[in-house]
């Protein structure tokens, strides 16, 4: 059964996928940094949704839908409209290309992200394994 994106259930399903992925564990073994993934409204999504993920050395230690951006102070914030997130999740848009072209807006150290391109690719690969229903 498909999980609605964006939601607490979806980000928890992604956490399970990441934590079962040997490829992600290897690609992100040196990664240290948590994220807010901010999904801006579009289609039937009428409000911004903030998904939090604590990514640490190839594992996701925590993942949830935050009530708002004051809940945590993550190292990174990545935001985009829901339609852009859909393109990333279904592999129509590479996340690094999305950041470099401004389709995905990053707050945080871009150099650190660029050094972990394989981790980003494996994160997206894990997204594609979550049976997802989009609001667009």
Q: Do the domain assignments include residue 24? A: yes
Q: What is the pLDDT of residue 136?
A: 66
Helices (H), 28-116: 82-89, 95-100, 110-114
Q: Do the domain assignments include residue 49? A: yes
Q: Do the domain assignments include residue 27? A: yes
Q: Do the domain assignments include residue 57? A: yes
Q: Do the domain assignments include residue 100? A: yes
Q: Which of 47, 17, 54, 13 is nearest to 32 (CA)?
A: 54
Q: What domain count does the chain have? A: 1
Q: Do the domain assignments include residue 135? A: no
Residue 10 structure tokens: 């979806």
Q: What stretch of H or E contains 66?
A: strand 59-66
Domain hosting residue 67, numbered range? 3-130
- List the chain pLDDT tens, one digit each, 136 residues: 899 999 999 999 999 999 999 999 999 999 999 999 999 999 899 999 999 999 999 999 999 999 999 999 999 999 999 999 999 999 999 988 998 899 999 999 988 888 999 998 899 999 999 999 998 6
Q: Do the domain assignments include residue 136? A: no
CATH number of domain containing 11: 3.30.1050.10
Residue 44 structure tokens: 């039937």
Q: Do the domain assignments include residue 119? A: yes
Q: What is the pLDDT of residue 74?
A: 97
Do 13 and 1 form a contact (C-beta atoms < 8 A)? Answer: no
Alpha-carbon distance 113 to 20, whole Å?
22
Q: What is the pLDDT of residue 80?
A: 97
Whether the pTM exceeds 0.85: the reply is yes
């Amino acid at each position: 059964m498909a999980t609605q994106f964006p939601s607490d259930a979806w980000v928890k399903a992604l956490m399970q996928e990441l934590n079962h992925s040997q490829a992600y564990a290897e690609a992100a073994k040196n990664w240290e940094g948590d994220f807010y993934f901010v999904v801006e409204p579009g289609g039937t999504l009428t409000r911004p949704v903030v998904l939090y993920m604590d990514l640490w050395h190839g594992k996701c230690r925590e993942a949830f839908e935050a009530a708002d951006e004051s809940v945590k102070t993550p190292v990174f914030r990545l935001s985009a409209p829901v339609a852009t997130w859909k393109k990333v999740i279904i592999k129509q848009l590479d996340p690094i290309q999305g950041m470099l072209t401004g389709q995905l807006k990053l707050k945080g150290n871009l150099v650190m992200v660029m050094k972990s391109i394989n981790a980003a690719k494996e994160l997206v690969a894990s997204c594609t394994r979550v049976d997802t229903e989009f609001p667009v």
